[in-house]
Every structure is written in structure tokens, then in C-alpha cells.
A and B are shown apart, each in its own frame.
Chain A
Amino acid sequence: MALTLTTKEFPETYVNPRGIPRVAFVDSVEQYVKSRGITVESILKQFQEQHSKYKLMEHKLAQNRSHLASKIPEITKTTETLQFLRKKLAEEDSGFKTNYGLTESVFCEAEVTPQKTVHLWLGASVMVEYTFDEAIALLGKNLAAAKKNLESTVEDLAWLSDQLVILEVNTARVYNYDVVKRREEKEKGSQ
């Protein structure tokens, strides 16, 4: 089975469709520090700021992902219920009885009479009547949209985590470079 996007490498030319910026990899720390022309402390401080921005983005995306991840099974459940309802009402002309939840722990018996339409709750205090076919089609569309959204969120998260790792490694290398440089200067100075 092929590795999915979350486990394969992003191509060098990849540009994130949602605009998450790429962190530049530092080839030579010495050259990088010289070219920036500021102290190592300032470089490290900038890296820190970048890091907190990316972390915030990651947090938002993770929330987005869990929201979508919970929506998908709900839509599937509703679709299942609709299909069962349609089948059952086609089989038995007299309807059937069900136990309907009034609240979380109180159920009461209800009779489902044959009907051609269902009402779907669309959120924002809006409920719309559809035929069975229309309803199932709408739910199918919603499910596809949610799945696509989830895919792009997952892709963004993968890209973001890559950038975070690059940033952290950059920080570590600049810090190490500084430590080594200071040690060398101290040794040179004491000779």
C-alpha cells in the first residue's frame, strides 16, 4: 500500500494551498549568521517567535481536524438511519413503532407513519423538508465536503509539523554553533 501524503515527503516545489509559509532550511550555520548580520541572540529570538506562531496555527488546525472528525460519523449515522427508514417504510405500509429519545435518559414510544419526506436539521435553527432521495443526496454531498476538508486540514498539519521540525533543528544548530564558537574564542583568548 502506498504511503499517504502524511508520510511521504513534500516535493521541493510544494507551496501550501492555504498559505502556510515555508521555513528556510539553513545550509551553513556560519554563513547564515554572517549574512543575517545580527547577534545570535536576536536570531534565536526570531526563531522563537516564528515557533510560537506556527504552534498556534497547529493548535487551530488540530481543533479543526477533531471537529471534522466528529462530523463525519454523525453524517454517516444520519445517512444510515435514512436508508433504513426508507427501506422499512417501503416494506410495511402501516409504519412501525420506535422508542424516541425525549432527553438523554427518557425515551417514549412513537409510531412512524409512512411518509415521503424527512426533515433535516441544517443548524442555525433551520430545518428543511426533503424527499428521501434529496435528503440522502444532500447528506452525501455534505459527507464528501467534510472528507475533503479533513484531507486538506491533515495535509496542512503535516506541512506545518515539517516546518516546525526544520525550525527547531535550525534553532538547535544556531545555538550549538554559538556555544562552540564561544568555547573556541575562550580557548583562543586563554592561549
Chain B
Amino acid sequence: MASKQDTTPIDVAWEDQRNLCTFGRMNRRFQELDVEVRRRNADLEKLTDAADEILIADDVKYVFGESFVALDADDVSALIDAKKETIESELKSLSEEKVVLEKAMNQLKSQLYAKFGSQVYLENE
């Protein structure tokens, strides 16, 4: 908003408007990705802990839906490894998307700051 000390505020062209919208969307997506990546990392940790516990435990029950099924330790290890692989590949593609987004956002940021200087605020805090 214009303050008393402002010189005539720089007007917004359609191109700039589009950049602003796109930046907003990218930022939102970036934050969503952040949450997803963090969740997957936590899951991976839990699975790794579980895999370790199996080696010590006697009989293992694996959860399907809401029931427990008694299985051999080997079967369970195989199931856990398969799950870990899925999560790791999801994690990889999410992290790649984050990198691409970050680059695009930085580019937009420099464009917008160049045009508007201090009249625009694009940080997260």
C-alpha cells in the first residue's frame, strides 16, 4: 500500500501480474512438497527401525489394514524392503521437483525485485 513517503508507486503490468501469480503458486507447492518430503523421511526412519527390530524379535506380526498377521521374519523383511523402495523413489521425485521449483522461483524473484524493488515482498517469514 502507498505510504506518505512513497513516490508514485510502480504500476503492475499484465506480465508482472502473471509472474506474481505463478510465484505464489510455486511457493505454495514448494511448501506442500516440504511437508511431503518430511513425512516420507519420517516413514523411512520408522521402517528402518522396524527392520532392525525384526532381527531381534521372535515372532513378528505385520499389519494389513487393521489386522495383524503372523509371518516369518524373512517375509516381513521383504515386505518392509519393498515398502522402503516405494517411499525412496517417491522421495527422489519429490526432491527433484523441489529443486526445479526453487530454481524457477529464484528466477522469478530476481525479475520481480528488479521491477518493483522494495514494493514487493516475496520471502516466507
Contacts and interface: CB of A to CB of B under 8 A. Distances in A.
Interface of A: 1, 3-4, 6-9, 25, 27, 29, 77-78, 80-81, 84-85, 88, 96-101, 107, 110, 158, 161-162, 165-166, 169, 172-173, 175-176, 179-180
Contacts of B13: 27
B22 to A, nearest CB: 5
B104 A7 contact: yes
Contact of A96 (B65, B66, B70, B93): B70
Contacts of B49: none
Interface residues of B, number: 32
B124 interface: no
B11 A81 contact: no
- Which 4 residue pairs spanning A and B have beta carbons closest together? A99-B68, A81-B64, A176-B2, A162-B21
B59 to A, nearest CB: 11
Contacts of B11: 29, 173
Contacts of A8: 22
A136 B7 CA distance: 66
Nearest to B105: A7
B89 interface: no
Contact of B12 (A6, A9, A169): A169
B118 interface: no
Given A96-B69, A173-B11, A180-B9, A161 B24 contact: yes
B29 A25 contact: no
A42 B28 CA distance: 32
Given A1-B97, A166-B17, 17 more contacts: A1-B96, A1-B100, A7-B26, A7-B29, A27-B13, A80-B65, A81-B64, A84-B64, A96-B70, A99-B69, A100-B66, A101-B66, A162-B21, A165-B17, A173-B9, A175-B1, A179-B1
B68 A107 contact: yes
Interface in B1-27: 1-2, 8-9, 11-14, 17-18, 20-22, 24-26
A169 B17 contact: yes
